Amino acid sequence: MQKRTLGNSGLEVSAVGLGCMGLSFGYGPAAGTQEAIELIRAAVERGVTFFDTAEAYGPFTNEGLVGEALAPVRDQVVIATKFGFEDGDAQAGVDSRPERIREVAEASLRRLKTDRIDLFYQHRVDPDVPIEEVAGAVKDLIQEGKVKHFGLSEAGVQTIRRAHTVQSVTALQSEYSLWWREPEEEVLPTLEDLGIGFVPFSPLGKGFLTGAIDENTKFDSTDFRNLVPRFSAENRNANQSLVEVLGEIAAQKRVTRAQIAIAWLLAQRPWIVPIPGTTKLHRLDENIGAAGIELTPEDLREINNAVEQVTVQGDRYPAHLQQRVDR
């Protein structure tokens, strides 16, 4: 597995990480505990060193799972987790008060069975707490050795710049993929300017870009994609043309759609580290395999030209979850 460094921070991680959320939360019934632990450990055996979790995933259960799985190899891996929701509940609203940040850090350390959090993200910007106070609270934790690096998620460029003046931001985690390219407008140039790494979540469009989902797919009642406008049956049908385009390109390269989607992200900047999630070992192998795929400038032009012909239909979140704040 190739390695990458997140911006100017010196934090080196595998070129492809593992998003662990779906093992416990969000995409239907949770995987069995032992099955999930085995998948995480299989990722380690394959060279993955970057694992992403959050107190809100479960809530709380995912951190415990990740902590147990990685305890035997703790010094060989980088663990990222997040704070920022009231009582760890993403439905309850945001809460990034400094005292709450400290509470979350202490609780996460216990669940993760570790003495430090390698990368501590603010999960969503809290409009009621100045970002300078948030950055200051994490700076204190860094000075105490409980946290190593500070990150933001889904933050806008003004928030990123303001936070960075108080405590260097190591990474921004936001959605970015062939069907959500908004970060290219302002976010990527800002990160490049400041020397901040970028960790795209949902690099496979919440599974859609793999080609395994069509308008007839039925999601489990607990799968949050039921609420996402982009995943309505009508929009899935309309967006199928993007999957078809990816399929044609993948066939030419003799790889899969998922591998093209991840390789495309890796080709955008050397400090981009996607974190696809999965519950299946063969998908893990497929995703990791993308790190070895070289896309030439001609390949990238072909992909961009093809994708630009497709207009993606549907918002990426329901209105009540559009919590991005740029101040």
Residue 318 covered by a domain:
no
Residue 216 covered by a domain:
no
Cα–Cα separations (whole angstroms), residue 60 to 34, 82, 109: 17, 11, 12
Residue 301 covered by a domain:
no
Residue 235 covered by a domain:
no
Give the three-class secondary structure for 116. coil
Is 57 among the catalytic positions? yes
Task: Decide: 320 and 152 in contact? Cβ < 8 Å.
Answer: no
Residue 121 covered by a domain:
yes
pTM: 0.96
Candidates 100, 86, 89; CA nearest to 133 is: 100
Residue 224 covered by a domain:
no
pLDDT at 326: 47
Domain harbouring 269, CATH code: 3.20.20.100
* Distant-in-sequence, close-in-space partners of 188: CB < 8 Å, separation ≥ 6: 198, 268, 269
Residue among 57, 121, 176, 317 flagged as catalytic: 57
pLDDT (average), residues 257-285:
97
Q: Given pLDDT bands bounded at 50, 70 and 90, which one contains residue 310?
A: confident
pLDDT at 28: 87
Residue 28 covered by a domain:
yes
Cα–Cα separations (whole angstroms), residue 80 to 116, 162, 278, 310: 10, 22, 17, 34
Q: Residue 274's domain spans which residues?
A: 3-205+265-294
Q: Given pLDDT bands bounded at 50, 70 and 90, which one contains residue 319?
A: confident
pLDDT at 322: 62
Residues 209-234 pLDDT 10s: 999 999 999 999 999 999 999 999 99
